[in-house]
Structure 1
Amino acid sequence: MKKAKAIKIICALLSALLLLAALLVLSGRRTFKVSSVSGFSMNTPVHLSAAGPDPEKLDAALQDALRILENLNDRLSLYQEDSLLSEVNKAGGLHPVQAGPEISTLLKEAAEICKLTGGSFNPLVGPLTRLWKINKREQGDYTLPTQASLDDVLPLVRIENLSFVSPDQVFLRQKGCTLDLGGIAKGYASLKIARHLASQDIRSALIDLGGNIFALGAQPDGSPWKIGVRNPLDPGGDPIAALAVKDAAVITSGSYERYRIVDGKRYSHLFNPATGYPVENDLRSATVVSPNATLADALATALMVMGLDRASDFLESFLKEDPSLGVILVHQTSDGPSLAVTANLEDRLKVLSPGLTVTCIPK
């Protein structure tokens, strides 16, 4: 699922990454050195950078962050046969599985967000992921699922199939139910890494998990991080906007990176859990800005499923409960891409693409 994060937001416009790659940054009376590490986990490239006065402490904290990430991947991977998630999925309809307090809490949050979004985000979308087998790296012979096959798996996607028989025991009520946390796991991981770095007294860091960004603190000079928003109609081109961010996740979902093309039609990796079909609406990407990266990740997926009008209605209600949440929706018009932006981001967003239309949501 997902995330595939479309319009994925790329770390501090690359220029900010180059800034972090510098050997040192001066701030007041102290000299801040910069450390960076890269890797591959959760099926995506990982880039972590942090600044501080003690390079050994930075290096140790970043290496610990990579281990934290790999530990989460070992438990949450849909594709590792020995992962905790695979164990839960295999036990569907048979018996509960001891998931432990951390993963149980994450699954409960996922279930709550599913209900909050009317099912647009759904952690049980795994049967659709397996049925459609959408992956742009595997474009060979392919047959679209039949309506009959979709009808067979749709009952498995109902969130009521996810239950907790004790605080830490997870049970999938039907055989064939499949948890797929691709729409929430990287957000959760970035938040966990940010908290770890903060616990090590690191106040300036940039966490990039395949375009899922968490900006910890500010840049070493005190200015906000500048996060680039990609054009989903030209993802390899220049960013269409830049967003100033401190202490928040910036997470995007979209359909331009993972898809299949069958008979000239593109099928997204994002699914509508109600119909079982890949998402097909006027939205091309949805970016969510929030200190809660777990929520941001899941809501980015949900908004993509909703489409522009339903997303606007949802935000009108949701922002009354959480006015700090920021959203950027890129939608298709006859004149090209257009941005719909929540009011709380307007003064932090710089449009880089000439002629780009920007409107406020909710209306």
Structure 2
Amino acid sequence: MRATLLLTLLLLGACDQRSTLERLSGPTMGSSYSIQYVREADGPPPEQVRQAVEAILHDIDQHYSTYRSDSTVSQFNQLSANQCLAMPADLLELVDFGQHLAEQSAGAFDLTVEPLLDLWGFGPQARHERVPDPHALAQARQRVGYQHLRREPGMLCKEGAVELDFNSIAAGHAVDLIAQRLAAMGIANFLAEATGELKAVGRKPDGRPWRIALELPRADRQIARQVISVNGLAVSTSGDYRNYFEENGRRYSHTFDARLGRPVEHELASVTVLDASALQADGYSTLLLIMGPERGWDYAVAHDIAAILVTRVEGGFVSQATPSFERAVKGE
């Protein structure tokens, strides 16, 4: 799941009378979206902006929702092995990115993890949250494996009965599309958010930067641990502390290691990534969370990822920011 970000807008001081702060929001992808932007006197009317944003979100839902039987991804999932389906170009690009993350993690990240999500109670076909019996788990794992996907020109093929799930990266992709559309409409200053993924560009009407509060990974209440100024960057936080269940005294989150067929069992509670691309930030925050505190840290440093990792320790949490994150926060 995507950890909820506290969006802090400190609107102090006098604003240019020609500029106003507009807000719009609504439901999307089982959660919500919110847009805040600076409207200039000659800018598009708010209703036109709303229509443009919601058209993008409608297309995202139509292509990527596993809760709709008529979506593109559901049509692919319904195919039997050794069949292909024509796909839009942007969906194939997301498949390529997902395959890259799978290769980088030796299969721990996997877009074909949906049978496992359903079995453990986190997916669209789930009945209830539970630890599955070993036989059912073994059967589900036979239907998981990124290596069973094959690209052909304009098409995606499956060599096994695998099913795709884009929930780990679709929201970031949506934010990128929204940011591109707002810029094309002449909107130079905005904060666009969908299901917790966000991108901030420019400044608020009073000239101050957009400020984003990053929260501690606590399930009981929201507490800001750090407030950062953001301009031209996307912010993605992945955590294990919102969507989970407990059984026999053990805690199981919806963050899966596809190689093992089960939720991760380490002390890394959340990862925040900054990147110019919301898709990249979304994917890498999930990848690092799956990898865990040691492997995730080493990978982030080696690949120059702007990330902050928050690990559970006795009595609280410890945060560790990569050099790239420190530079990004300083605007370097």
Q: Which amino acid aligns with 1:174?
A: G
Q: Which amino acid aligns with 1:195?
A: Q
> 1:219, 1:202 → 2: CA distance?
12
Counterpart selection for 1:161 from 144, 148, 153: 148
Pick closer, same or farther for the CA change 1:276–1:284 going to 2, 3 Å: same
Counterpart selection for 1:9 from 5, 20, 28: 5
Pick closer, same or farther for the CA change 1:221–1:75 going to 2, 3 Å: same
Pairing 1:174–2:163 present: no
Pairing 1:39–2:23 present: no
Aligned counterparts, 1:255-266, within 5 A: 255-266=240-251
Partner of 2:326: 346
Instruction: Tell me how far 1:155 sits from its aligned partner.
Output: 3.4
Contact 2:274–2:328 (CA<8 Å) still a contact in 1? no
Partner of 2:285: 300
Pairing 1:272–2:265 present: no
Spell out, residue by residue over 1:307-358, the C-alpha distance to the aligned partner (whole angstroms, 9 max, x if none).
1100111123211xxxxx31011111123111110123336769xxxxxxxx
Q: Which amino acid aligns with 2:39?
A: G
Pick closer, same or farther for the CA change 1:194–1:299 going to 2, 3 Å: same
Instruction: Tell me how far 1:224 sits from its aligned partner.
Output: 2.4
2:45 is paired with a residue whose SS is: helix
For normalisation by structure 1, the TM-score amounts to: 0.84
Spell out, residue by residue over 1:32-65, the C-alpha distance to the aligned partner (whole angstroms, 9 max, x if none).
1122111111111111111121364344123211
Counterpart selection for 2:59 from 71, 80, 86: 71
Aligned counterparts, 1:307-326, within 5 A: 307-319=292-304, 325-326=305-306
Contact 2:20–2:205 (CA<8 Å) still a contact in 1? no
Instruction: Tell me how far 1:142 sits from its aligned partner.
Output: 5.1
2:19 is paired with a residue whose SS is: strand
Aligned counterparts, 1:71-220, within 5 A: 71-134=59-122, 143-166=130-153, 168-175=154-161, 177-220=162-205
> 2:329, 2:89 → 1: CA distance?
38
1:96 is paired with a residue whose SS is: strand
Q: Which amino acid aligns with 2:260?
A: T
1:121 is paired with a residue whose SS is: coil
Partner of 1:334: 314
Partner of 1:233: 218
Contact 1:232–1:285 (CA<8 Å) still a contact in 2? yes
> 2:288, 2:277 → 1: CA distance?
16
For normalisation by structure 2, the TM-score amounts to: 0.91
Q: Which amino acid aligns with 2:156?
A: V
Gaps of 5+ in 1: 320-324, 351-363
Q: Which amino acid aligns with 2:310?
A: V
Contact 1:243–1:348 (CA<8 Å) still a contact in 2? no
Q: Which amino acid aligns with 2:2?
A: K
Sequence identity (%): 26
> 1:31, 1:117 → 2: CA distance?
50
Pick closer, same or farther for the CA change 1:347–1:271 going to 2, 3 Å: same
Instruction: Tell me how far 1:150 sits from its aligned partner.
Output: 1.9
> 2:130, 2:315 → 1: CA distance?
34
Contact 1:38–1:45 (CA<8 Å) still a contact in 2? yes
Instruction: Tell me how far 1:10 sits from its aligned partner.
Output: 2.3
2:224 is paired with a residue whose SS is: coil
Aligned length: 327
Spell out, residue by residue over 1:102-147, the C-alpha distance to the aligned partner (whole angstroms, 9 max, x if none).
2112212221222133333221111111111138xx9x97542122
Q: Report the aligned-residue RMSD.
A: 2.3
Contact 1:190–1:214 (CA<8 Å) still a contact in 2? yes
1:250 is paired with a residue whose SS is: strand
Moved over 6 A (4+): none
Contact 2:288–2:296 (CA<8 Å) still a contact in 1? yes
Instruction: Tell me how far 1:211 sits from its aligned partner.
Output: 1.4
Gaps of 5+ in 2: none
